Amino acid sequence: MNGDAQLIDDTLAGNRAAFGELVRRYEGRLFNTLVHMVGSREEAEDVSQEAFVQAFLKLDTFRGRSAFYTWLYRIAFNVSVSRKRRRRAEVSMDLHRERTGEEPEEAGEGPGERILREEQVQQVRGAIGDLHDEHRAIVVLREIEGCDYETIAEILDVPVGTVRSRLHRARLQLRDQLKELLQENVTE
């Protein structure tokens, strides 16, 4: 985006507010993606914050050959992987740490429906969390971010063929784990 380039230039010129604008521009997207990647809001906050900070500190190394968000996401991805390694003993995908009430309510949704939906959300997140890191990244980028294969390949620096094969495998795994849920959705 041309706007990104200008903000980057302004930041490098000393205008901190310009980077703040970059943060506001991408915080939602990155955060949402990371929630699915790492499985918890808290972790997503930490990872996204750290990613932005590192992007800020290393902005001069951004070469502009990819989109800023691509670069940012790659940083965030590495951060999340590294943090996960350090917390290997912990349950990084402990979805029960998710606070309730954080998800927006749907209009006209009764309490029972809301609870059921939350359970389904947890179930799906759990299944996503069980994926291998890079499979999860591809699924999230594809299904949550809506990135095409080329963009995913660029972000993860893998060939498009790899994106295709991993995405398919990940989908098969998710399908197996969410069979019942999917059947409900199909019949609805």
Partner 1 sequence: MTAPFSDELLSAYLDGELNAEEQAYVEVQLRERVELRRLCDELRALRATLRAMPVSRPPENFAERVMRQAERQMLTGSPTTTDLTSGDSEPAAGLSVSRFLASRRWRIGLGVVAGLAACALAMVFLMPPFLSTTERVASAPEPTMGDAETTAELAQDRGDVAKVAKLSELNEKYVMRGRNQAFGAAGAAGAPPKTDPTGEIEMLPSAAEESRPAAPVVADESTAVGTSVERHPKREQEGVVGGRRDESSSGEPAMSSGSGFGSAAPPSIRRGGIRGMGGGGSIRPVGPGMSGGFGGGMGGMGGGAGGVPRSLEPKSGQLTDMPAYAPAATPPADMAVDVKTKSVEGLEPSEIAATDAMSKTLPSDAQAEMAWLGTRLTAESIEQCTAQLDQSHFLLVRVSGPEAVDLIAGVPHSTMGKTLAADALKLFAETGVAVKEEGKLRNAAEMPEQKPGGGGRAVGQATQENPVTPPQVLIVEGSADRIRDSLAQLAARPEISVELASIIDSQTDRRLRILRFEDDLPQERVADNYGEGQSKNSEDGISVPREHSGRPMQADGRVREAKDDSVAKAPAQVAGKPADKADPARDPSREKLKGTAQDAVALPAPPAQPQDPAAVSKSAPAIPAAPAVPSVDKAPSAGTAAMVESANRPNGASVPSEVAKERAVIYILYRLLPEPAVPGPAGESGDR
Site for partner 1, residues 50 to 79, rule: CB under 8 A: 50-61, 63, 65-66, 74-75, 78-79
Q: Which of 42, 109, 113, 119 binds partner 1 (CB under 8 A)?
A: 42
Please tell me whether residue 182 binds partner 1 under the rule CB under 8 A: yes
For the range 165-173, what are the long-range contacts, defined as Cβ-Cβ under 8 Å and sequence gap of 24 or more? 166/134, 166/135, 166/138, 167/135, 167/138, 167/139, 167/142, 169/135, 170/131, 170/132, 170/135, 170/136, 170/138, 170/139, 171/139, 173/127, 173/130, 173/131, 173/135
What x-and-dash track marks residues 131-160 binding partner 1 by CB under 8 A?
A: xxxxx---x--xxx---xx------xxxx-
Contact 92, 180 (CB under 8 A): no
Cβ at position 61, least distance to partner 1 in Å? 6
Q: Which of 1, 3, 6, 86 binds partner 1 (CB under 8 A)?
A: 86
Please tell me whether residue 103 binds partner 1 under the rule CB under 8 A: yes
Q: Which of 104, 108, 111, 112 binds partner 1 (CB under 8 A)?
A: 104
